[in-house]
Amino acid sequence: MDETHVVTCFVEHDGRVLVLKRSGEVGSYQERWAGVSGYIEPTHTPLQQAWEELGEEVGLDESDVVLVREGLPLEVMDGQLKKKWVVHPFRFHLGEVKKIRTDWEHKDYRWIRPQEIKLLSTVPRLLEAWENVK
């Protein structure tokens, strides 16, 4: 089974968490809700990749958000894709709400209460990833 390391970033503001609906153009889990996420490049640490994904996917940088917590990696087995994902979760706090600018990887976004994650059709184990950083 192929092992792939990814980051998932939760951006929170005023008790709500940003979730993004993946577009039909991404390689996996199309039309599912997720955090800001991406493959960890070989030259990057998980935290470096988290910052890069925040900039690319939603237009946020270190002047917009503060790192609150880095969680323990979470293994997600996907037999259908024959892949073991190792998810490195992060939680960031957005000080001032600003319009989120999404890229081609997402078609929608919402600010939700964390307990609402379980009501959405999400990427595998998104709620557990949140639990790792709350």
State how many domains the chain has.
1
Listing DSSP states for 62-75 in one string gives: TTTEEEEEEPPPEE
Q: What's 58's domain CATH number?
A: 3.90.79.10
CB 7 within 8 A of CB 35: no
CB 131 within 8 A of CB 91: no
Give the pLDDT of residue 16: 97
Give the pLDDT of residue 127: 98
Q: How many residues does the chain have?
A: 134
Give the pLDDT of residue 79: 86
pLDDT digits (tens, 9 = 90+) for 55-104: 999 999 999 999 999 999 999 999 888 899 999 999 999 998 877 889 99
pLDDT digits (tens, 9 = 90+) for 3-42: 999 999 999 999 999 999 999 999 999 999 999 999 999 9
DSSP letter for 99, please.
-
Q: Which structural domain, as residue segments, surrounds residue 86?
A: 2-131
For residues 55, 68, 94 and 85, what is the CA-based torsion angle, rounded to 10 degrees? Answer: 40
